[in-house]
Amino acid sequence: MEKIIEVQHLSKTFGTNEVLKDIDFSVNKGEVVCIIGSSGSGKSTLLRCINLLEKPSGGKIIYKGKNILDDEHDLRAYRTKLGMVFQQFNLFNNHNVLSNCMVGQIKVLKRSKEEAKEIAMKYLKVVGMEQFINAKPRQLSGGQKQRVAIARALSMDPEVMLFDEPTSALDPEMVGEVLKVMRELAESGLTMLIVTHEMGFAKEVADRVVFMDKGVIAEEGSPEQIFNNPAQERTREFLKRTLQQN
Amino acid sequence: MELNVIVKTISKYWPMFLRGAGVTLYISTIGTIVGFIIGLLIGVIRTVPVPEKGIKKFILKIINAILSVYVEVFRGTPMIVQAMVIYYGSKQAFNIDMSPLFAGIFIVSINTGAYMAEIVRGGIVSIDKGQFEAAYAIGMSHNQAMINVVLPQVIRNILPATGNEFVINIKDTSVLNVIAVTELFFQTKSVSGINYKYFETFFIASVIYFVMTFTVTRILRYIERKMDGPENYILYANQMQVQTPEDAVRKNSDKR
């Protein structure tokens, strides 16, 4: 299998707090990887390090055979290849739904307005938000915002989609609509890296599940292996705790 | 107060009041706009992320130091003193002969710029970090994120503060009479020097000042509402995707 992104010996410290310790990790083409783990285990930081919203303290991030951390120049081109979906949506408040999905295409990918609009409409249809293209973000519900955010990321034609707890800021009844969109994307063969607390979703959609604990990857494997037959004691502990809550 | 004195003063000296009000409005409008632009530039420069090393960091540090000196000095001294120093100082020390009007606009502009710089910086800092992150995440540079995402929101948010500056400028241009700018206060002083009716003459001036500031406030409120856009949006049925909302509205009104 072809590796799209490979992370080697990645570490990240905030002051004296070591959030990520010597992480080795990779994402293969067409794969859906779910990262699970308790709060503060470093899963979001890992995701944010991968698209360099946080600058790693050490290690390498290899994309297409090149270490992205070596050369500032490739940084922005690299980021366009990663679609990011945030917990807090982060839609551009001054743009309406359509223009949220167009501005990156026009300014970064230098597409024409017509082309950008066509592509934006295509993905807004995928997420079922094509009716709302004139709405401003403040006029939408959380689930709608998140679906637009997914369309915005898809409009850049990324090779990998990164999801940073996409449903954690949503009301329970809106979680479903976002997960439905993500499920469809996963089925379409898109490469996805998802940080999530939705164990059921991870179990169902993931090709591989990564369990993080205290800044290290404690265990990784197929969903069956992680959820039904975890090798590590701490994985078992974590799953017991979260499944009890649900 | 005698009403007939007011009426007489107005009917006799209205061209002077009008010219004074015109100059006041002219100086404060240009001054506010130029000051706004200065403030925007400085606010943007002061929030550029500092590179970790290299010559760029050094240059940025020097520029920031100069800018904060500018802001502190012009916020920390009265405009009336600045007017004297700049107008007479430039004449005596550098032999630059500015017209009072130009000097007035210059002083109001850089004074407003100093205040606006801090207002803009505050506006940028108050924008949610997520807006920057989302822009970076789709590959935008810092400048692209600023121009396309952050500044439009900042400008909307600081409009009330800008209106405040505008109103203050309309009133504070009166201090420019010390360098003989023929603005409203200067003209009023001249009129009262002729007719010796200080109370009535200055009462007229106060009314004119109030009308100007009130009008400006209303206009700015209107612009704010315009920028906020409509409260409602039109849902699109699938086959109507090529329409703009304006088209839809027009079509609906045609049917009626």
pLDDT digits (tens, 9 = 90+) for B70-105: 999 999 999 999 999 999 998 888 888 889 999 999
Are A196 and A163 in contact, with CB atoms under 8 Å apart?
Answer: yes
DSSP A42: S
Cα separation, A103 vs A174, whole angstroms: 27
Does the predicted model carry a pTM greater than 0.95? no
pLDDT of B170 > 90? The answer is: yes
**pLDDT, tens digit (0-9, with 9 covering 90-100), for A93-145:** 999 999 999 999 999 999 999 999 999 999 999 999 999 999 999 999 999 99
Cα separation, A52 vs B137, whole angstroms: 9
Contacts of A234 (CB under 8 A, 6+ apart): A213, A218
Q: Could you tell me what percent of chain B has a pLDDT over 90?
A: 75
Cα separation, B234 vs B219, whole angstroms: 28
- Residues of A within 8 A of B153 (CB-CB) are 93-94
| pLDDT band for position B3 (cuts 50, 70, 90) | confident
Query: Cα distance from A129 to chain B (closest Cα, Å)?
Result: 10
Q: Which of B128, B153, B233 sits opposite A134 (nearest CB)?
A: B233
Q: Which of B36, B42, B44, B37 is nearest to B143 (CA)?
A: B44
Q: Where are the beta strands (DSSP E) in A86-207?
A: 160-164, 191-195
pLDDT of A246 > 80? The answer is: no
The answer to whether A86 contacts B133, with C-beta atoms less than 8 Å apart, is yes
pLDDT of B231 > 80? The answer is: no
Contacts of A94 (CB under 8 A, 6+ apart): B149, B152, B153, B156
Q: Which amino acid, one-letter code, is at B14?
A: W
Mean per-residue pLDDT for A30-47?
92
Query: Cα distance from A175 to chain B (closest Cα, Å)?
Result: 21
Q: What is the mean pLDDT of chain A?
A: 92
Chain B residue with the nearest C-alpha to that of A125: B238
Q: What is the mean pLDDT of chain B?
A: 89
